[in-house]
């Protein structure tokens, strides 16, 4: 199946493109010249206006998706493990997925990359969205979801496997099959970690905003315009979605979008790494809250002998809710951590020699692990979480 998919895409690109590798080569050249020749202040203004329009569009589309979800009965019904009290529409992340898919497709046509990263994002993302949508509608088994996640991760390796290398100076140097296996598991974990963390009003969307805007700016500074634009589209879309997802949430993102953001960030992280435009330590630092909470909780549950595929409410942020803090307060604290601890450290990590960037990553994670430990992440809660108010 994978050979047919790759052959079809290559045939389309060969039949519809010119020797320069794009359907509209002159437009591609002109666009790059225009972007590089604009005054930084004017360029920043254009980016700000574009991002604002995308955010407003996303909020409008999300509102209509909410009405449709209510009409069709696509609701998240509260149960003993829920952190909300009233039935809430879900699937609102469709607006984010639509924006990113549309923007990525346009970039793939008008500003293609040497390695088809944009097609990689589209194909692997489509698989994860499909399984997420089916799960939102019919509640698929964990095994079925995991199989599709591994297939989506394989698509990434299928495209870039021969060029893949994972190198941390003086620590690790992997190439070939070893690097491929590591990337597959990283991708699958990224999908599921983002899905795990989408359990509180505004958390997944605000994370998407901060990670995207920071990583996108790093990519732009390092000359990778296409990567930066994809990040900015994700960030602006998440910002628009936040209007209806902030506490008390009027609609939930849904597995189809949280999984899509997970694999999108995995693809973009690899793209940034291999193009030397967004170093992996910087990306790992930006994702620190999600990675630490998800990883620490799952490992703690494994050590406790718990079934890690079973739904639970043992993540650190859920323990914070159980202690009486509202969704808005816990999400706000995470935003503060991201803005004033992790983001500065991510910028610092790209300013120092490679061998020190790993040390900065460890430094960034230490207080996050301590917080997870103090909140007893991974320890079963004695009572179900209900929606809190201050």
pLDDT value of residue 168: 56
- Tell me if 390 is assigned to some domain: no
pLDDT band at 165 (very low <50, low <70, confident <90, very high): low
Across 41-60, average pLDDT: 91
Higher pLDDT among residues 350 and 176, named by residue: 350
Note the pLDDT tens digit of each residue in 275-285.
999 999 999 99
- Tell me if 224 is assigned to some domain: yes
pLDDT value of residue 115: 82
Q: Which domain holds residue 175?
A: 21-374
Matching residue, tokens 């996108």: 216
pLDDT value of residue 18: 42
- Tell me if 75 is assigned to some domain: yes
- Tell me if 388 is assigned to some domain: no
Max Cα-Cα span within the chain: 65
Neighbours of 341 (CB within 10 A): 17
Q: What is the pTM of this model?
A: 0.88
pLDDT value of residue 24: 43
Is the pLDDT confidence value at 2 over 70?
A: no
Going by the DSSP 8-state scheme, the letter that residue 319 receives in this structure is: H
Matching residue, tokens 């609102």: 92
- Tell me if 309 is assigned to some domain: yes
Whole-number Å distance between alpha carbons of 390 and 210: 25
Any idea how long the chain is?
Answer: 390
What is the DSSP pairing of strand 172-175 with strand 165-168? antiparallel
- Tell me if 15 is assigned to some domain: no
Across 199-210, average pLDDT: 96
pLDDT band at 26 (very low <50, low <70, confident <90, very high): very low
How is residue 224 written in tokens? 């990778």
pLDDT value of residue 174: 64
What is the phi/psi pair of residue 89, to 5°?
-60, 150
Whole-number Å distance between alpha carbons of 299 and 320: 19
Computed over every residue of the chain, the mean pLDDT equals 85
Is the pLDDT confidence value at 381 over 50?
A: yes
Query: Is 211 within 8 Å of 264 (Cβ atoms)?
Result: no
pLDDT band at 137 (very low <50, low <70, confident <90, very high): confident
**Could you tell me the CA-to-CA distances from 99 to 5, 124, 142 in Å, in that order?**
24, 16, 28
Note the pLDDT tens digit of each residue in 172-190.
666 677 778 888 999 999 9
Number of domains in the chain: 1
Whole-number Å distance between alpha carbons of 339 and 207: 10
pLDDT value of residue 351: 92
Query: Is 215 within 8 Å of 179 (Cβ atoms)?
Result: no
**DSSP-based helix, strand, coil % in the chain, nearest 5:** 70, 5, 25
pLDDT value of residue 296: 97
Q: Is 107 exposed, middle or buried (0-12, 13-18, 19+ CB in 10 A)?
A: buried
Task: Supply the DSSP string of 126-139, one letter for each residue.
Answer: HHHHHHHHHHHHH-
- Tell me if 190 is assigned to some domain: yes
Span of 106-110, 137-141, 327-331 with lowest mean pLDDT: 137-141
Alpha helical stretches, state H, 198-326: 203-221, 225-245, 255-274, 280-286, 288-303, 316-322
Torsion angle in degrees (nearest 10) through CA of 133, 110, 270, 297 = -30
- Tell me if 366 is assigned to some domain: yes
Note the pLDDT tens digit of each residue in 293-335.
999 999 999 999 888 888 888 999 999 998 989 999 999 999 9
Query: Is 293 within 8 Å of 316 (Cβ atoms)?
Result: yes
């Amino acid at each position: 199946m994978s050979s047919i998919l790759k052959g079809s895409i290559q045939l389309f690109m060969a039949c519809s493109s010119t020797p320069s590798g794009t359907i509209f080569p002159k437009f591609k050249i002109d666009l790059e010249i225009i972007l590089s020749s604009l005054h930084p202040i004017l360029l920043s203004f254009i980016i700000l206006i574009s991002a604002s329009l995308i955010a407003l569009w996303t909020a409008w589309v999300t509102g209509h998706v909410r009405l449709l979800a209510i009409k069709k009965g696509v609701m998240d019904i509260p149960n003993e493990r829920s952190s909300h009290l009233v039935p809430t529409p879900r699937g609102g992340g469709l607006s984010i997925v639509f924006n990113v898919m549309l923007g990525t497709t346009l970039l793939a046509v008008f500003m293609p990359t040497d390695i088809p990263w944009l097609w990689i994002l589209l194909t692997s993302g489509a698989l994860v969205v499909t399984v997420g949508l089916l799960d939102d509608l019919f509640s698929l088994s964990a095994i079925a979801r995991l199989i599709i996640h591994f297939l989506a991760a394989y698509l990434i390796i299928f495209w870039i496997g021969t060029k893949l290398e994972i190198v941390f100076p003086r620590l690790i140097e992997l190439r070939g099959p070893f690097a491929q296996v590591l990337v597959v598991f990283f991708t699958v974990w990224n999908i599921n970690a983002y899905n795990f963390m989408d359990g509180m009003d505004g958390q997944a969307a605000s994370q998407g905003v901060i990670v995207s805007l920071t990583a996108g700016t790093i990519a732009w500074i390092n000359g990778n315009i296409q990567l930066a634009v994809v990040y900015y589209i994700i960030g602006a879309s998440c910002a628009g979605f936040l209007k209806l997802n902030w506490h008390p949430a009027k609609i939930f993102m849904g597995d189809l979008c949280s999984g899509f953001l997970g694999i999108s960030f995995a693809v973009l992280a690899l793209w940034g790494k291999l193009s030397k435009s967004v170093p992996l330590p910087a990306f790992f630092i930006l994702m620190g809250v999600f990675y630490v909470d998800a990883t620490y909780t799952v490992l703690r549950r494994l050590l406790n002998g718990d079934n890690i595929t079973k739904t639970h409410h043992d993540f650190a942020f859920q323990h914070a809710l159980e202690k009486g803090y509202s969704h808005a307060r816990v999400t706000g604290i995470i935003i503060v951590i991201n803005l004033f601890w992790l983001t500065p450290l991510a910028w610092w990590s790209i300013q120092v020699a490679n061998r020190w960037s790993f040390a900065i990553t460890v430094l960034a994670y230490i207080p996050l692990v301590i917080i997870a430990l103090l909140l007893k992440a991974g320890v079963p809660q004695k009572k179900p979480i209900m929606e809190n108010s201050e």
